[in-house]
Amino acid sequence: MKGSRTKLTPVTRRLVTEVYGRLDYEALGPVYCYEGGDEFWQAKRGPCDRLGSRVAVALKRKLGRGGRSLYVGAGVAELPTLIMETVEIGRTVEPYNLRRAEVAALNSACHSIPLTFRFADAASAKGRFDHLWIVSVLNDPERFPHLSPLSYGQSNPLTLDPLKFEKERRIVRALVAHCMGKLARPGLVTTTTEEVLWIAEWCHRHRVPYRVGKRSYPTALVGDPICFIHIGRADKRAG
Ligand SMILES: C[S@@+](CC[C@H](N)C(=O)[O-])C[C@H]1O[C@@H](n2cnc3c(N)ncnc32)[C@H](O)[C@@H]1O
């Protein structure tokens, strides 16, 4: 079926709704918030679907058929894009996540789709990808408590621990290097405006041209706006 450039196909829409309907929100409660899991998901489920689908439409316009996408830290918010790539444009997706309970809940909800989340470090992914998705990972306050406040411009010079910050920066740079090393050129990176600098730094160090798209897209859970970065060629297409 020839898909629309401005909408997801009815099949994708149906699958996205089905998967969001099947998710075990009780199991997901403690993964995303410590209290009030039910209320949290009642409020966030709709925005995840709606905003995620908007990004999925934008991504569909940028990706070719039949390539491979590496998703780092993919969770509930990524479902529309993962489903769109898999069922609508025939791509292979490899989503990685280090939260065991979330991976189990996602895989159980996705049993009717050829989509499997991996409980593993994305740096261990094998082969080449032409799309890297890394959204709200490099600035995650849970994993990088000393680096994250700087990313958000909220650091406190009185409490900053330079040694712990430096250790976290090394981990972030290594993860970026592992993932960017697997990206074909030209390639596409989907990330957030807060994380662009890490990708840009890698490109500068490796003398790889890149262009950050002008448009950004709001996200439902973390709230960091998503943007696209074209890697490896001076791409003139907007946004
Ligand atoms: C703040 S959450 C963001 C989740 C989702 N991308 C979103 O925007 O709602 C960060 C996620 O990145 C995952 N993560 C961090 N480092 C990772 C790595 N090296 N490989 C795979 N997942 C990773 C964590 O397990 C967590 O699920």
Q: What is the pLDDT of residue 216?
A: 96
Task: Check residue 1 and give its pLDDT.
Answer: 47
pLDDT digits over 219-237, tens only? 988 889 999 999 997 555 5
Let me know: does 186 contact 236? Beta carbons within 8 Å: no
Say if 168 falls within a structural domain.
yes
Range of the domain at 71: 10-231
Q: Which two tokens stand for residue 238?
A: 């907007």
Atom of ligand 1 nearest to the CA of 98: 25
* C-beta 137 within 6 A of ligand 1: yes
CA 73 to CA 180: how far, in whole Å?
15
Residue 31 confidence class, pLDDT cut points 50, 70, 90: confident
Q: Is 33 in the pocket of ligand 1 (CB under 6 A)?
A: no
**Structural domains of the chain, count:** 1
For residue 28 and ligand 1, the question of a CB distance below 6 A is answered with no
Distances (CA, A) of 206 to 180, 183, 198: 10, 13, 12
Q: Is residue 120 part of a domain?
A: yes
Phi-psi region of 45 (alpha: psi -120 to 50; beta: other; left: phi over 0): alpha
Would the CB of 97 count as within 6 Å of ligand 1?
yes
- Give domain status of residue 122, yes or no: yes
Task: Classify residue 99: in a domain, yes or no.
Answer: yes
Distance 140 CA to ligand 1 centre (A): 8
Q: Evaluate whether residue 237 is within a structural domain.
A: no
For the CA of 135, the closest atom of ligand 1 is: 6
Cα distance between residue 165 and residue 102, in whole Å: 27
CATH number at residue 181: 3.40.50.150
